[in-house]
Amino acid sequence: MDIEFENIPLDFKDIPIEKKDNIKKYNLPRKVVFCKKCVIPNQRPRITFDKDGVCTACRFAEYKAKGIDWEKREIELIKLLDKHRSKDGSYDVIVPCSGGKDSSRVAYELKNNYGMHPLTVTWAPHMHTDVGWKNFQNFIHSGFNNVLGTPNGLVHRIMTRLSFEILGDPFQPFIYGAKSFPITIATRFKIPLIMYGEDGEVEYGGDKKIVDRSGHNITNDMEKHYFSGLGPEFWMKYGIKEEDILPYKIPPINEIKRAGVECRFWGYYKKWTPQENYYFSSEKTRFTANPYGRSEGTYSKYASLDDQTDGFHFYLSYIKFGIGRATADAAHEIRDGHITREEGVRLVRKFDGEFPKKYFKTFLKYIGITEEHFWKVVESFREGSPHLWEKRNGEWILKHQVS
């Protein structure tokens, strides 16, 4: 679907790339090391490796497979749901949901296997892909009530442009909304339980002290983990108005507390395996994989499909950290035992860093920049990681490749 975008009015403080704030200092280790079990390098922010050279995410996968008493966790889940289940059929759980394979499964199970009455809550992608919109509609029509939150399109485009230029990640405004909107709905409608999918901090490698947390603390976690230390207010210095950042913010903490909102992770109670979620959702909510085959930059067909800007998030991660979409996909499929490390290495070498050209023109139009400007931004981030890149025969290549 083609959208006719207005030109972005430049009354927000447009910044020349040479002068952009240098806020994102990742302090990446200068020596690149890859995990011995998966394919993730030590460049992923917050990941750590143990003395055997194995990453926290791989250790967590082992813990999931052998260290967790899932029957006990099931009892905990039932207890939690019993506490919240409504008797009159009114909403008793919020499920943040994109219509993707993972959230669809959580909502389906809560409703059909645990007798809950979920309200699914969706924060709109920047621009739906056709398959993303179809999956979202199929999901709703398989029996769910849904609230779709769509922010002011023009503000969202400007914020997306700014975060692309300054953070090297066009996703940041989406992440604000995806995290905040369910909390806003839970607070306003007094539906205190929010059930998220997996805990990204433990699944993909973060703080190893939190492997046994069943949920997260709204007050402390939001900024640190999801907002890269930069809340929505940050953008006001670039001319975004206070009233315009409201949809991106969570309600005042005292209101959230008064409503008794608690955020839980389904992945704490149930073993989280994306591939199984795919099979499950294909059957139950008519989820379909990418009709064009694999997504650009990876070999996978069923993850992160719904937004036309997805590819640029992964591409910039490749530039900044040397971690492209295939690395991310292969790493967790190795951990889940679906592919071997050797297969993973081969897939990463083949697909990682492939440019997302399918939606390139739309993306440029969406954030209102030229192709030249796009590459200027990309190069500014490549310069920020000189230990990763070198030019050979006029072409940029990663100095260190997984092997």
Q: CB of residue 28 vs Zn ion: minimum separation in angstroms?
A: 17
- Which amino acid is residue 312, in one-letter code? F
Distance (Å, rounded) from C-alpha 379 to C-alpha 319?
8
Query: How is 334-397 classified by DSSP, letter by letter?
Result: HHTTSS-HHHHHHHHHHHTT----TTHHHHHHHHT--HHHHHHHHHHHHHT-TTTEEEETTEEE
Contacts to Zn ion from residues 185-214, by CB under 5 A: none
55 interacts with Zn ion by CB under 5 A: yes
Q: CB of residue 40 vs Zn ion: minimum separation in angstroms?
A: 5
Cβ proximity to Zn ion, 153 vs 200, nearer residue: 200
Q: What angle do CA 166, 167, 170 make, to 5 degrees?
A: 100
How many alpha carbons fall within 13 Å on the CB side of residue 312? 30
Distance (Å, rounded) from C-alpha 289 to C-alpha 319?
27
As given in the structure block, the two tokens for residue 399 are: 């100095």
Cβ proximity to Zn ion, 37 vs 128, nearer residue: 37
Instruction: Please list, residue by residue across 341-368, b when 16 or more beta carbons sit within 10 angstroms of its beta carbon and e when fewer do.
Output: beebbbbbeebbbbebeebbebbebbbb
348 interacts with Zn ion by CB under 5 A: no
* CA-closest candidate to residue 386, choices 35, 43, 47: 43
Distance (Å, rounded) from C-alpha 155 to C-alpha 6?
12
Q: CB of residue 265 vs Zn ion: minimum separation in angstroms?
A: 20
Residues 321, 325, 326, 327, CA torsion sign: positive
The residue count for binding Zn ion (CB under 5 A) is: 5
Segment lying near Zn ion (by CB under 5 A), choices 27-35, 87-95, 228-236, 388-396: 27-35
Segment lying near Zn ion (by CB under 5 A), choices 7-15, 48-56, 97-105, 270-278: 48-56
Q: CB of residue 58 vs Zn ion: minimum separation in angstroms?
A: 3
Cβ proximity to Zn ion, 55 vs 162, nearer residue: 55
Segment lying near Zn ion (by CB under 5 A), choices 28-36, 228-236, 265-273, 311-319: 28-36
Cβ proximity to Zn ion, 47 vs 367, nearer residue: 47
Q: CB of residue 9 vs Zn ion: minimum separation in angstroms?
A: 46
Cβ proximity to Zn ion, 58 vs 240, nearer residue: 58
Please provide the distance, in angstroms rounded to a whole number, between the alpha carbons at the two ends of the chain.
Answer: 41
Segment lying near Zn ion (by CB under 5 A), choices 54-62, 144-152, 209-217, 287-295: 54-62
Q: Which segments of 103-204 are extended strands (E)?
A: 118-123, 145-149, 193-196
38 interacts with Zn ion by CB under 5 A: yes
Cβ proximity to Zn ion, 55 vs 240, nearer residue: 55
3-state secondary structure 66-132: HHCCHHHHHHHHHHHHHHHCCCCCCCCEEEECCCCHHHHHHHHHHHHCCCCCEEEEEECCCCECHHH
Q: CB of residue 13 vs Zn ion: minimum separation in angstroms?
A: 41
Segment lying near Zn ion (by CB under 5 A), choices 30-38, 231-239, 245-253, 257-265: 30-38
As given in the structure block, the two tokens for residue 385 are: 């990681």
Cβ proximity to Zn ion, 55 vs 218, nearer residue: 55
| Phi, psi angle pair for 81, to nearest 5° | -70, -35
As given in the structure block, the two tokens for residue 105 are: 């499964």
Site string for Zn ion, 85-124 (x = CB under 5 A): ----------------------------------------
Site string for Zn ion, 282-321 (x = CB under 5 A): ----------------------------------------
37 interacts with Zn ion by CB under 5 A: yes
Q: CB of residue 353 vs Zn ion: minimum separation in angstroms?
A: 19
Q: CB of residue 247 vs Zn ion: minimum separation in angstroms?
A: 37
Q: How many helices (H) and strands (E) does the chain have?
A: 17, 8
Q: Judged by CB under 5 A, which of 35, 159, 222, 398 binds Zn ion?
A: 35
Q: CB of residue 55 vs Zn ion: minimum separation in angstroms?
A: 3
Q: CB of residue 330 vs Zn ion: minimum separation in angstroms?
A: 10
**Binding positions for Zn ion, rule: CB under 5 A:** 35, 37-38, 55, 58
